[in-house]
A and B are shown apart, each in its own frame.
Chain A
Amino acid sequence: QKEVEQNSGPLSVPEGAIASLNCTYSDRGSQSFFWYRQYSGKSPELIMSIYSNGDKEDGRFTAQLNKASQYVSLLIRDSQPSDSATYLCAVNYAGKSTFGDGTTLTVKP
């Protein structure tokens, strides 16, 4: 079992819909959590960081963290074709980050 699990997808949503991306992790001591977006052939770029239980909103993006369930999610509201990319979940413990293999999202016009 991988330390950080994501559904590989592909996840396909119509333009304007809500996209929901999920991530589970195995290390209960994990301290910080990140969502990155990666376009094909490019390096990961940060979308959101979250450190405590609950929701954190930034524009069209909302990250949700539940440490008891070892679960972190990312919601993208009003999805746009430009949101089509691979979304990587990263979990940090003692400075070391472990990444999931990503979920590929396609937003159809």
Chain B
Amino acid sequence: GAGVSQTPSNKVTEKGKYVELRCDPISGHTALYWYRQSLGQGPEFLIYFQGTGAADDSGLPNDRFFAVRPEGSVSTLKIQRTERGDSAMYLCASSRYTGDTQYFGPGTRLTVL
């Protein structure tokens, strides 16, 4: 079956701009996770959803970052007033339920100039 998909695969933006990153989970997976990964480091947890609600958003670095999952399927990570330090690979994963195996999408490479 189809895996997790993420769009766009690459995003280049200018400092101060607003960006949206989209994640489409595996059908039927109730939990959805966002991570950020910088070169040479492991994925860093940002937020996860169980259904439509954010179950844990403790990893969001500041209030410029926000994520939604309005219908319990597709999720959008929104970054306002982007900074060069936001440049990273943004990974989305989904699982059948909380705590189960997470399957990753291909990621969105964000570059802030």
Cross-chain contact B102 with A34 (CB below 8 angstroms): yes
What residue in chain B is nearest A6 (Cβ atoms)?
B42
Cross-chain contact A43 with B98 (CB below 8 angstroms): no
- Contact A98 B45, CB 8 Å, known A34-B101, A43-B104, A46-B103: yes
Is B43's beta carbon under 8 Å from chain A?
A: yes
Instruction: Report the tally of A-B residue pairs with Cβ distances under 8 A.
Output: 57
- Interchain CA distance A94-B107 in the complex, whole Å: 24
Residues of chain B within 8 A of A42, CB atoms compared: 106
Cross-chain contact A95 with B43 (CB below 8 angstroms): no
Q: Which of A43, A46, A92 contacts B105 (CB 8 A)?
A: A43
Residues of chain B within 8 A of A98, CB atoms compared: 45
Cross-chain contact A96 with B105 (CB below 8 angstroms): no
Q: Which A residues form the contact surface with B (CB < 8 A)?
A: 4, 31-32, 34, 36, 42-46, 49, 88, 90, 92, 94-102
- Sorted nearest first, the 8 A-B pairs with minimum C-beta distance are A99-B42, A95-B98, A43-B104, A101-B42, A99-B43, A43-B107, A44-B104, A49-B101
